[in-house]
């Protein structure tokens, strides 16, 4: 089992990062908030979880151990796989998830792409006694920005994290804003924003 990866950031993409560890590049699937903290050429340490399937080995990366342990717990819920677990953590920090489950805030949970009302109710039911109480201040990544687009703040942070200036990130978001609904998946919008910057 791989519990963490430490090395130089070789590349950062729309949904993953490559960490150079002793000359070997490990690709880790990461949320946009985690990717926004990485800088190419800088050292980084990511908590990791290796998901083994019959036809694939996928490495997921997290900002800290709390995110990784929450990721593991989320997958114990019926119908929640690694992609949905990562989507939950892309929208809500671990403490925000704990608060939502403890308060049975179904509305907060259904803001996550792929989670409907029944899925949110299942999360509350199955995680009620497993996630525990919030341990710090809650930073909810799903807090809606002034434009009403749930994805705007995360896409902006992701672009800046990839090396674009604040002005360029603002321009890219403006260029693609009319193409997507407010609840569109963050990765989808980020890819479109990157394409618009490449064309500029």
Residues 122, 71 share a domain: yes
pLDDT tens, 134-178?
A: 765 444 444 434 445 677 877 877 776 677 777 787 888 888 888
d(CA 74, CA 51): 14
User: Strands, E, within 54-93: which ranges?
Assistant: 56-62
Q: Specify whether the backbone of 29 is left (phi greater than 0), alpha (psi in -120 to 50) or beta.
A: beta
The answer for residues whose C-beta is within 8 angstroms of residue 180's C-beta and 6 or more apart is 149, 151, 188, 189, 192
CATH of the domain at 96: 1.10.150.20
In a domain, residue 145? The reply is no
- Whole-Å CA distances, 24 to 13, 93, 104, 166: 17, 30, 44, 32
For residues 75 and 42, state if they share a domain. Answer: no
User: What pLDDT score was predicted for residue 4?
Assistant: 95
The pTM score is: 0.66
Q: Are 113 and 185 in contact (CB under 8 A)?
A: yes
- Here the contacts of 114-117 (C-beta below 8 Å, separation 24 or greater) are 114/83, 114/84, 114/87, 115/84, 115/87, 115/88
Report how many domains make up the chain. 3
21-68 confidence digits (pLDDT tens) = 999 999 999 988 788 889 999 999 999 999 998 888 999 999 999 999
Q: Are residues 54 and 80 in the same domain?
A: no
Identify the residue with better confidence: 108 or 7: 7
Residues 71 and 121 in one domain: yes
Provide the domain limits for residue 17.
4-62
What are the φ/ψ torsions at residue 72 (nearest 5 degrees)? -65, -45
Q: Are the C-beta atoms of residues 172 and 140 closer than 8 Å to each other?
A: no
């Amino acid at each position: 089992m791989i519990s963490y990866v430490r090395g130089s950031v070789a590349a950062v993409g729309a949904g993953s990062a490559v960490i150079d560890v002793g000359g070997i590049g490990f690709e880790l699937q990461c949320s946009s908030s985690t990717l926004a903290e990485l800088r190419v050429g800088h050292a980084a340490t990511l908590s990791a979880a290796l998901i083994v399937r019959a036809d694939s080995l996928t490495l997921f990366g997290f900002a800290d151990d709390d995110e990784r342990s929450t990721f593991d717990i989320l997958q114990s819920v019926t119908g929640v796989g690694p992609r949905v677990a990562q989507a939950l953590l892309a929208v809500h920090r671990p403490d925000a998830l704990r608060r939502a489950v403890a308060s049975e805030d179904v509305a907060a949970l259904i803001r996550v792409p792929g989670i409907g009302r029944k899925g949110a109710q299942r999360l509350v039911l199955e995680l009620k006694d497993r996630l525990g109480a919030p341990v710090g201040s809650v930073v909810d990544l799903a807090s809606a920005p002034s434009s009403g687009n749930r994805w705007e703040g995360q896409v902006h942070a992701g672009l800046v994290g990839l090396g674009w200036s604040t002005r360029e990130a603002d321009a890219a978001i403006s260029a693609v804003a009319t193409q997507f609904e407010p609840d569109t998946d963050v990765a989808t919008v980020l890819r479109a924003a990157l394409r618009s910057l490449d064309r500029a």
